[in-house]
A = this chain, B = another copy of it.
Amino acid sequence: MPAVHPLDTPLFLTRGARSVIGPAKEAAAHAGTMSTLQITDGRVLLPDMSVETGDVLVNQDSGDIVAVGDVETGDETLNADGCLIMPGLVNAHTHAAMSLLRGYADDKPLDAWLREDIWPAEASLTPEDVRAGTELALLEFIESGVTSFADMYFHEPEVVDAVADAGLRARLGHGVVTVGKDEADAVADNEESLAFAREYDGAADGRVKTAYMPHSLTTVDEALLREFTAEAREAGVPLHFHANETRDEVDPIVEERGMRPLAYADDLGMLTDEDFVAHGVHSDASEIELLAERGTAVVHCPASNMKLASGAAPVQAYREAGATVALGTDGAASNNDLDVFDEMRDAAMLGKLAAEDASAVPAEAAVDMATRGGADALGFDAGRIEPGANADLAVVDFSATHLTPVHDYVSHLAYAARGSDVRHTVCDGRVLMRDREVETLDADAVRARAADAAANLD
């Protein structure tokens, strides 16, 4: 039975009981040579999912965590009284600017929804619209403790600029679709994706990384996938693409090629340990094993998969096979918010239903997928609170009624907390939100620009 830690018990408040978890004293001795941020008076979620009383000391110059535990005073402080300091959440698959289409069309089969509603609306989006929609998404990320994300969309240089301003970390790419295009346009679309990846990798002081992003195995021609995947490998650019989201994506490949979609991707050279695929709903046992062997991460998007009736991904099987599993919201049009706390809850709950086992995908697994799993999928040295890791952090307030009492912090993160319980958000050592006030974006202006852009869609 987990111990009860109500916020007013002596255990929580007694400073003398704190354990030294990291090399705090040496770090503190060096603190005078760097600009530091001390997150104080909270509890800390450690990589083994245990929770300890302690502070976190951050080097704001390097953006790294310096020490965890009983640290000395920092130059700047962030109060975490009554809070849990956890790794920032990772939204490992989204189309950020689709926040403009939140609630634009719902409750329709995938094909009709795309053809009748989403694609026509997207065709009219200008670079300014994509910027407005992306900023709305980034504001929602910061407000809900998300510190890094992967984006697949278009007008992607606008996304780079938005990420640079907002202070987040991201893996970005231009999504390629060649179906219905003539050869010149198809080639040009692939070239744009690869050129973007080459040009912008390392932007925003290194917080932006990139990928070549063919949309999926059924929407990009085989010859082009083979050619540009090879070019991406030469350039050291990883891949991100949709795979096995719906049965309609699986069946044609199996029929035409006599192999499973991920075996086909493997044949094309698309599965390495730097690549990550979205969805993986209809993967069979051989594909689960293949992803685990190749070290290719899979991004589970439970809300989108439910809302579009795509199916329930075999999350427990992926994890048992040793595959890296991350969580993603997908675009806001199929969710309809970008709250990764919802994805944790959905992943844990849907995972149990899919496995017909209430012990499948426990709370710890959900939190692991949303933090370490996401950082691993995106290739960031984050997702865990320990010295040397990037200081990407969310500070969650546990004083709300719906988080009372506190028998188990990790259970509450997975099953009861929501984005609005996040009090502070820190990325790369910089405070992006303090006491629910976002410091890097003008929230009212962002919402107004997005509402204007959305109003012009109809």
Contacts and interface: CB of A to CB of B under 8 A. Distances in A.
Q: How many of chain A's residues touch chain B, expressed as a range?
A: 35 or more
A99 B402 CA distance: 9
Contacts of A99: 404
Given A408-B106, A420-B418, A454 B6 contact: yes
A360 B309 contact: yes
A309 B358 contact: yes
A168 interface: no
Given A4-B458, A336-B416, A363-B106, A312 B353 contact: yes
Interface in A340-358: 342, 345-346, 348-350, 352-353, 355-358
Contact of A307 (B136, B305, B358): B358
Given A353-B309, A412-B103, A143 B401 contact: yes
Contact of A335 (B4, B309, B362, B415): B415
Given A4-B457, A359-B109, A402 B338 contact: yes
A96 interface: no
Given A336-B411, A415-B337, A454 B405 contact: yes
Contact of A401 (B101, B415, B443): B443
Interface in A400-414: 401-402, 404-408, 411-412, 414
Interface stretch (A178-186, A423-431, A445-453): A445-453
A9 interface: yes
Given A415-B335, A420-B420, A405 B455 contact: yes
A117 interface: yes
B420 A306 contact: no
A58 to B, nearest CB: 26
A282 B359 CA distance: 21
A230 interface: no
Contacts of A363: 106-107
A6 B358 contact: no
Interface of A: 1-4, 6-9, 99-110, 113, 117, 136, 139-140, 143-144, 303, 305-309, 311-312, 335-339, 342, 345-346, 348-350, 352-353, 355-363, 399, 401-402, 404-408, 411-412, 414-416, 418-420, 443, 446-448, 450-455, 457-458
6 contacts: A2-B103, A107-B348, A107-B363, A140-B401, A337-B416, A407-B458
